Structures are given as structure tokens and as C-alpha cells.
Amino acid sequence: MILCIETATGVCSVALCDDNSVISVIEAPAGMSHSSSLTVIIQELLSGTSIEARQLDAVSVSKGPGSYTGLRIGVSVAKGISYGA
């Protein structure tokens, strides 16, 4: 399972993918509130699919181009999940 994080654009989104398909996607409402919504929608996605962070094989983050602040938020959350799991 791969947790995919998109924070480079105005719409913050996360997706859960396996080897062949996208299992689930959640998008936060448009706007630049990535710092307050990213971890909430990740928790919602994982809870809704009954997946725990330790079951993830990888966490991916978009690399842009896009908002530098948004990219930092995405990378920081990905590192936190990876280290914590």
C-alpha cells in the first residue's frame, strides 16, 4: 500500500493505492489550509479503509511545481508518518 500526498496545488489531497489501482481518495476543500487539513484527511482515509500507518509500504509526496510552503508541509507529514510507523 502506498499513501500518496498532494500539497503542491490549492487542493490538498491524499490517496491510498495498491499495486494495481487507487483504493480511496480524499480531497480537502480548496484553499491554502494544507497545514490544518492534511493530517485530518490522512486519518480519515486510513480509518475509512481500515489501514494503519505501519501497514503502508511507502509514502509518496508530489514534488511540484507548486507552493513551496505546501510542498514543505507534505514532505514534513510524510517524514513524520514514515518515522512513526
Half-sphere exposure (CA, 13 Å, Cβ side) for 55?
Answer: 10
The pLDDT confidence band at residue 32, using thresholds 50, 70 and 90, is low
Q: What is the CA radius of gyration of the chain?
A: 12
Contacts of 11 (CB under 8 A, 6+ apart): 27, 28, 30
**String of b and e for 29-42 (b: at least 16 CB within 10 Å)?**
eeeeebeebbeebb
Residue 6 has pLDDT above 90, yes or no: yes
pLDDT tens by residue, 37-84: 999 999 999 999 999 999 999 999 998 888 888 899 999 999 999 998
Q: What is the pLDDT of residue 66?
A: 84
The predicted model gives 18-37 an average pLDDT of 88
- Please answer whether residues 19 and 57 qualify as being in contact, where contact means their C-beta atoms are separated by less than 8 angstroms: no
